[in-house]
Structure 1
């Protein structure tokens, strides 16, 4: 540790993209710490605007008279924190999302950032991971081979090419028993729920849902006149033995959302028996069934009884939510009613994107992309677990055998404080309570320890861009008790 004696340095190098860079290298600390502080100050003040190119680390090291590794380490840490970005071919630049923080008169501590620097909210993959080249190749092939009717009014069932590709893929990867005639293309899980509410929402007007799940889905069903009844969740998934007089049950059996873990085999059989004996329907949300890491893949419940289970899937987690392509694998007796509820023409999913996805699946590009992303997500999950073991060993991580998120179990009564502390660290993350059904009773019951009422964080480790993930984990660990 020490103080750099140089008060300021001007960098003007032919390799620095023609930019003059003024740095004030003052104050205590190591050379790396002083350099990082000077760069942060320049960005905060707005002097180094978003997108500004920085000199190559070799040039900056030579101009400052310090070791190359010192500058390289400083750049790398600022990239991890989200202040800088580094891409091959475009060098190191000030990150676009970093905004200068205006000083507040009389305030001794920095103001809370108005926008999060880091994002660990679950729900989507890293947009930069979209396989643009492979998708473009499929689009070219699909458009070249497309029949003329692909550019006319769309079939509400979806393009035949996509339904055929999905039937083969789902049978091979998820164990689904179906054929193209029983698949209807939709724009995603929300669209599927609206269609099922229109077709099967009558009768009791009550559907069972897991005690933890997406509030948006519950609100959507409520908007369609369906009352949702919470079904308690424990370490074996939803407790389907407690199903009462409801017309349908919405489940996430491959990986309970958000608490994690598959539905126990006995319960999978039990919910199918319930549907057969009562005439009810099982809606299976297969939102991330392809992403498993430490266990064998869990097949779809639909395979146990294709006439009582509706399987819903999409590419929102595996490719991108902007594609707006999902599917429903339906019992034969519901196909015509669902198609009628959709309307006479396809209004939701682009026919050209459907054809592209069909080629993407048939060519094997989808399998390759999923395998690549599975490895990437596993690596990120392992980084999360390792960081917590080292810096927050009292926090237990659950639900990590599959999926794109993990649940961090917190001491009772600390969830809201931790979410607030994360916000002060510039980190967006959600508490487990955000997903809890408002009618769900807290406590323990029936001899099983429920997850209801437990404090925790839902951490989406697939969301951040690669260059900000390390900084996001640092901010998370600083916020934890």
Structure 2
């Protein structure tokens, strides 16, 4: 008991669950996530989560029965006598806010000392500091007669430059009026959710898939319809009626499949027949390591597809710059929604990016980091082969900035303990299992997403060697 009382992670889990109950996000009779799912979300061990659940059971917050998921105890819709977690409990929360609070909190982890394989990070050394500084200085020194709010869809100069770039690089034909500049692709997904879904309406999403996209659509009130994926991407043989489908056809996240030509036609046919829109997230389409990048789905049917692009995988996720290419019929709706959300994206960053695009610097930068990340990929794959050999199966290596490593012979239920051991060894490790829908079956083999764009080659070698040592102790 003394050891548990000193476990800061367990205390934070207990406090977080109590806060969810006090806020009404978890109500009497609601089932909590399984200990395995909760442990994977928090990056904690299953033992720690089980201890936290047992403590909450002892305090009367939960009811735990053998073989069943824990549920919130009755009577907690009123004050329980427990001191409030926050200074004041929220009142009159909207359904949107309650849906947000019902979602599992993100895992909070300190940066790993040896190698952090978190996907989405880029190397700071790759950022074009001098070019960005020159473009930013030029934008700052450009005097205008009046400082005023801009077009909610974004700078006309940037949208024109993006139109030309998208035609050259991705084969997308559109007008500048169809482009909406957003604060990162996540805002683009949020706008799609708010404009295309009403509460209770179904949306199709890949299983496994991008968790923050799912959260954006669920927060808007949508009902997720998970559809399995394989090496050819989303399975399109039994698509149900829905208002929209969210897909990553050029590089399925996280497993890495590319949507086949046959399935692309089938998905577009489904959209036409059901009157649905397709939200195409081309989050890392610039990175194809064997052949030319796969053309976007949008090029086949611009009237049915909303194309989501980002600068987070080529420049930096800290810039919060992304863009949408929307069908002409949706331009006004997206413009007005963007106006109400935040007026427009920051103009200084837009002007700097427009300068990089117009001068050709951006495309030279993309070619440069494509080569660097191809080198990192080769180092990672070689290290996995050398240290793990047939004990690991790698998926999704042909494109993008991450791979999925399936640990042959290790059960998926052991992921939390491996993550904890890896963290102790200075390795940041992230499981695939939380990206699967909880109501559907999950893989039986442990799998981890290994992002490599934020690491140098030596860190990749050290990281895989340390990971192999950890796995050797857990087989």
TM over 0.5: yes
**1:206 is the counterpart of 2:198:** no
Contact 2:255 2:396 in 1 (8 A): yes
Larger Rg: 1
The residue matched to 1:158 in structure 2 has which SS? coil
The residue matched to 2:237 in structure 1 has which SS? helix
- Give the drift of 1:371: 1.0
2:66 alignment partner in structure 1: none
**1:404 is the counterpart of 2:433:** no
Contact 1:310 1:329 in 2 (8 A): yes
Find the partner of 2:385 among 379, 389, 410.
389
> Would you say how many aligned residue pairs link Structure 1 and Structure 2?
359
2:447 alignment partner in structure 1: 456
Query: Are the structure 2 counterparts of residues 345 and 236 from structure 1 closer, same or farther at C-alpha, using a change threshold of 3 Å?
Result: closer
Which ranges in structure 2 are unaligned for 5 or more consecutive residues?
A: 1-108
Contact 1:387 1:477 in 2 (8 A): no
Query: Whole-Å Cα distance in 1 between the matches of residues 110 and 180 of structure 2?
Result: 43
Query: Whole-Å Cα distance in 1 between the matches of residues 296 and 144 of structure 2?
Result: 33
2:294 alignment partner in structure 1: 298
The residue matched to 1:229 in structure 2 has which SS? strand
When the two chains are superposed, the root-mean-square deviation of aligned CA atoms in Å is: 2.0
The residue matched to 1:353 in structure 2 has which SS? helix
Q: What TM-score, normalized to structure 1?
A: 0.71
Contact 2:312 2:319 in 1 (8 A): yes
**1:433-480 per-position Cα deviation (integer Å, ceiling 9, x unaligned):** 0211222234xxxxxxxxx55531100011235663332232223233
Query: Whole-Å Cα distance in 2 between the matches of residues 287 and 199 of structure 1?
Result: 21
- Give the drift of 1:146: 6.4
| Residue pairs, 1:75-474, within 5 angstroms | 116-117=112-113, 118-145=115-142, 147-148=144-145, 151-202=147-198, 205-343=201-339, 347=343, 349-394=345-390, 395-411=392-408, 412-414=410-412, 416=415, 417-442=417-442, 452=443, 454-465=445-456, 468-474=459-465
| Residue pairs, 1:62-77, within 5 angstroms | none
Query: Are the structure 2 counterparts of residues 393 and 360 from structure 1 closer, same or farther at C-alpha, using a change threshold of 3 Å?
Result: same
Query: Are the structure 2 counterparts of residues 114 and 197 from structure 1 closer, same or farther at C-alpha, using a change threshold of 3 Å?
Result: closer
Q: What TM-score, normalized to structure 2?
A: 0.72
Query: Whole-Å Cα distance in 2 between the matches of residues 371 and 478 of structure 1?
Result: 35
The residue matched to 2:174 in structure 1 has which SS? coil
Contact 1:121 1:430 in 2 (8 A): yes
Query: Are the structure 2 counterparts of residues 330 and 453 from structure 1 closer, same or farther at C-alpha, using a change threshold of 3 Å?
Result: farther
2:60 alignment partner in structure 1: none
Query: Whole-Å Cα distance in 2 between the matches of residues 265 and 114 of structure 1?
Result: 42
